[in-house]
């Protein structure tokens, strides 16, 4: 399988007039395994989830290129044929760093990434008070990514995100996305779309350029389902909190129960074997045996005594 194959797969879906991508946000190996097991054909690596899980920090520009690349590489290689769209924040510096980000993501098996026009001390797009770089700096970032992609002969999909809506309004956001498109970006992403009308409008104003919808429930964007997004003309929809949100609720509830009762009270089917099976237990045991190893000859299930 060639290095760019999942990027090529994603490109084909985006170029297909009937193609549509619905990608749940994942932030670590287990959440990615669960999304794959649920049958999703594209994954999204959330930067907010990476900051929260890797560093225990808020989405405030805490993750470095190395943090993000390492997490993306691990996730992308759990199922190399499944395209992974990864957050690339601001590109982590000037044009030289944006080029490094592009090359490293491509070589790590990432199929697509988004770069935005916030300042380096960025924040989650659904927080207030965002500060932006000017349009020239933004298009320089996009150009650096597009040129790097071409230089290494990768199909990695460059998604141009603008955060300009909150401070500068729709027309400026449109101008920024048009400039990014002219600089060679493959997909547009208007962060924090604030109404359904605007959803339809941004798709129309930039047609036939493919547009991504970022579905952050309880953020700045009205709740739109994957089906509705498709009907509105979006080509891709990501749900950054698809696994982080429910994980947080479940962990909180179980921890409170442990504190209260001294027990977890987990579902009976949640055995260690079941958890590890989600994480490739059987494939690993098979691999060992096929190589002539005998470590798991007796299996891994508990024997009745």
Ligand X SMILES: C[C@](O)(C(=O)O)[C@H](CC(=O)O)C(=O)O
Report the interface residues with ligand X, using CB under 6 A.
Answer: 25, 46-48, 59, 87, 124-126, 191, 214, 216, 219, 240
Query: In this complex, which beta carbon is closest to ligand X, that of residue 14 or of residue 23?
Result: 23
Please report how close the Cβ of residue 48 comes to ligand X at its closest, in angstroms: 3
Query: In this complex, which beta carbon is closest to ligand X, that of residue 62 or of residue 285?
Result: 62
Secondary structure tally for the chain: helices H, strands E: 12, 8
Q: Taking the chain, what is the end-to-end CA distance rounded to the nearest angstrom? A: 46
Please report how close the Cβ of residue 301 comes to ligand X at its closest, in angstroms: 38
Query: In this complex, which beta carbon is closest to ligand X, that of residue 4 or of residue 21?
Result: 21
Please report how close the Cβ of residue 198 comes to ligand X at its closest, in angstroms: 16
Number of Cβ within 10 Å of residue 100's Cβ equals 17
Main-chain dihedrals φ then ψ at residue 278, nearest 5 degrees: -60, -30
Query: In this complex, which beta carbon is closest to ligand X, that of residue 4 or of residue 180?
Result: 180
Question: Three-class SS of residue 124?
Answer: coil
Query: In this complex, which beta carbon is closest to ligand X, that of residue 4 or of residue 126?
Result: 126
Which residues, 6 or more positions from 23, have their beta carbon under 8 angstroms from its beta carbon?
Answer: 40, 42, 43, 44, 85, 236, 237, 238, 239
Please report how close the Cβ of residue 272 comes to ligand X at its closest, in angstroms: 31
Please report how close the Cβ of residue 165 comes to ligand X at its closest, in angstroms: 12
Query: In this complex, which beta carbon is closest to ligand X, that of residue 121 or of residue 261?
Result: 121
Strands 112-115, 84-87: pairing is: parallel
Please report how close the Cβ of residue 164 comes to ligand X at its closest, in angstroms: 13
Question: Three-class SS of residue 145?
Answer: helix
Which residues, 6 or more positions from 91, have their beta carbon under 8 angstroms from its beta carbon?
Answer: 97, 98, 101, 115, 141, 144, 145
């Amino acid at each position: 399988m060639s290095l760019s194959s999942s990027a090529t797969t994603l490109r084909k879906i985006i170029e297909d007039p009937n193609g549509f991508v619905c990608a749940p946000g994942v932030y670590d190996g287990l959440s990615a395994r669960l999304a794959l097991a649920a049958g999703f054909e594209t994954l999204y690596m959330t930067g907010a989830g990476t900051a929260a899980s890797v560093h225990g920090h808020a989405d405030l520009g805490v993750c470095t290129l190395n943090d993000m690349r390492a997490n993306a590489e691990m996730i992308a290689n759990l199922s190399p044929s499944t395209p992974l769209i990864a957050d690339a924040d601001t590109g982590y510096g000037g044009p030289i760093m944006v080029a490094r980000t592009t090359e490293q993501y491509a070589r790590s098996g990432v199929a697509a990434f988004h770069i935005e026009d916030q300042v380096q001390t960025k924040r989650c797009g659904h927080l207030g008070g965002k500060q932006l770089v000017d349009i020239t700096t933004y298009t320089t970032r996009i150009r650096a990514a597009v040129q790097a992609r071409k230089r290494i002969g990768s199909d990695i999909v460059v998604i141009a995100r603008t955060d300009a809506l909150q401070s500068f309004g729709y027309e400026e956001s449109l101008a920024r996305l048009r400039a990014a498109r002219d600089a060679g970006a493959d997909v547009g992403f208007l962060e924090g779309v604030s109404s359904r009308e605007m959803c339809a409008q941004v798709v129309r104003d930039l047609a036939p350029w493919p547009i991504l919808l970022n579905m952050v429930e309880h953020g700045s964007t009205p709740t739109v389902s994957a089906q509705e997004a498709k009907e509105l003309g979006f080509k891709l929809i990501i749900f950054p909190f698809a696994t982080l949100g429910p994980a947080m609720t479940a962990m909180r509830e179980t921890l409170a129960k442990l504190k209260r009762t001294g027990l977890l009270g987990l579902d009976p089917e949640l055995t260690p074997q079941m958890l590890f099976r989600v994480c490739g237990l059987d494939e690993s045991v098979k691999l060992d045996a096929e190589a002539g190893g005998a470590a798991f000859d007796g299996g891994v299930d508990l024997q009745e005594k």
